[in-house]
Amino acid sequence: MTPQEVVKFAQENGALMVDFKFMDFIGIWQHFSVPISEFDEDVFEDGLGFDGSSIRGWQPIHASDMIILPDCTTAVMDPFTAIPTLSLICNIFDPITKEGYSRDPRNIAKKAEAYLKASGIGDTAYFGPEAEFFIFDDVRYDSSANQSFYAVDSSEGAWNTGREEFPNLGYKPRHKEGYFPVSPTDSQNDLRTEMVMELQNVGIRIECQHHEVATGGQAEIDMRFASLLDMADQLQWFKYVIKNVALRNGKTVTFMPKPLYGDNGSGMHTHVSIWKEGTNLFAGDKYGGLSQMALWYIGGIIKHAKALCALTNPTTNSYKRLVPGFEAPVNMCYSSRNRSAALRIPMFSTNPKSKRVEFRTPDPSCNGYLAFAAILMAGIDGIENKIDPGKPLDKDIYGLTPEELVGIPSAPGSLEEALQALKDDHEFLLKGDVFTSDVIDKWLEYKTEAEVNAIRMRPTPMEFELYYDI
C-alpha cells in the first residue's frame, strides 16, 4: 500500500485509532496509539517523536529523542482492540542524522537484505521458522532476597492425572507423547484453530497446526516461508496473535524454550534458502539435492554457530534445552532427513523450489530481526569464503560414541559461553554495516548484566534440595 492507500484503508475499515508498533532491542514489541484525527499521509514522511531512553538497550537520557516512521506496507486492522484500530509496524530514525537507528532490529534486518543484494549472491533470502510454544492454564513466579519459585499448570499436564477435577477424565498426554494424538487427548485443537483464523486475518499464510511432543499444552503452528524482513514482521504478529487468542480464552502462552523439566523444550527450526531472479540457488546436484552454494552456506553456519547462538538462542533458559545427549540439536553437522543433526536438508519433495536448509538450533525466545539477519550473514560468509562444511553425518548422532563425536563442533553450553563466542567472532556480522560494533557491544553488555549475572548470583530451589543439609 501507498500512504494514500493506507489512509483510505483506515477509512474503509472504520478505524478510530492508529497503533504504531516497533521492536525494542531485546525482542519485545512496543507501541503507542493516536486518534485517527491525528493521522494523515504526512506521518509516513515526518514520523512521530518518542522517548528512546525508556526503551531497553537504546538511548541515554541526554540524547533520548527518537522518531518512528511507519511502514505503509504493513497496514492491517488489529484484531484485538475494542475500538477499530489500524496497526502499522515502524522503523526507528535518529532525529539529528535522519538515518535509520543502528540499534533498531528492523533496520538491521533491512540492511541484511540489502547486503545480500549488493553481494551479487542473490536477491532474496526466504525464511520459514517453526516457532513452538506452550499453552498453560496458570503461571506463578517470584524471586526475592529470601525465596524463589515458579509454577506452571495445564489441564493437559501428565502430572494432573491424579488431580481432583470432579471429574478427572484422564486423556492427558504422557511425557514426550504429545505428537500428536487426536482429541480428547489433544484438548487444544479448537484453540489452535482459532489462532490460525486470526493469523490469517492479519495476512499470515498458515500451512498447518498441531500438538507438539511435550505434555502440558505444547503446540506448533507453521507459517508459510517469506522474505527475511517480512518473516521477522510476521513472527512478531505470530507471537502477538497467539498470546492474545490464548488470553481471551483464559489461557496463557509462553515462548520460553524450556518451561518444563523432563520433557521437550520449544525450538524454532528455521528453514532458509537464497533465490535470484525467481530461481532457488540452493537446489543442485550435490548431497541431498543441494547446490554447492548451499553447502558453503552450511559451512558458514557451522563455522559461526557458537557466536550465532548468542542471537538465535539468547536467553539463559535457552541452554536448558540445548543439552548434549538429549533431543536438542547441539551437534553442528548436516544431514538429509536426519533430525538429530543441527542442520538438516528436508527431503519431503524433489521439487527444486522446495530445496532449503533447516537450522534446528534456534529457539523462539530470539528477536527474529536479529536472528534471521545473523543467520543470513553467517551463510553469506560461508558462500563468499567457500567454507567446506565437511562430510554429512547420516547416523543417529545420539547413538554415537564419544570417540565418534570428536571433531563435531557443538552449540555453547550456556548463554555466557555464547556471548563470549560472539565477542570473539563477529566480524562476519559487521560486513555492509549490517550489525555495528556498537550493536554487538550493547548486546553483550545488556545480556551479561541483565540476564547472565542476574541468574548467576541467585540460588535456585534445586540447590536447596541438593545442598541445604550439607
Catalytic sites, residue numbers? 51, 130, 132, 212, 220, 269, 339, 358, 360
Residues 6 or more apart whose Cβ sits within 8 Å of residue 404? 395
Q: What one-character DSSP code corresponds to residue 100?
A: B
- Own/partner pairs for 116-119, CB < 8 Å, 24+ apart? 116/274, 116/376, 116/380, 118/432, 119/380, 119/384, 119/432
Strands (E), 238-385: 252-254, 268-276, 279-280, 334-336, 343-345, 357-359
Q: Say whether 427 sits in a helix, a strand or coil.
A: helix
Q: What one-character DSSP code corresponds to residue 290?
A: B
Report residue 396 as a C-alpha cell.
543417529
- Transcribe 355-397 into DSSP letters: --EEE----TTS-HHHHHHHHHHHHHHHHHTT--------S-G
Asked if 304 and 378 touch (Cβ cutoff 8 Å), the reply is: yes
- How far is residue 62's CA from residue 71's CA, in Å, rounded to a whole number? 28
Asked if 286 and 357 touch (Cβ cutoff 8 Å), the reply is: no
- Own/partner pairs for 202-206, CB < 8 Å, 24+ apart? 202/76, 202/79, 202/237, 202/241, 203/76, 204/234, 204/237, 204/238, 204/241
Bridging pattern class, strands 334-336 and 343-345: parallel
Report residue 354 as a C-alpha cell.
522446495
Q: Say whether 251 sits in a helix, a strand or coil.
A: coil
- How far is residue 163's CA from residue 170's CA, in Å, rounded to a whole number? 10
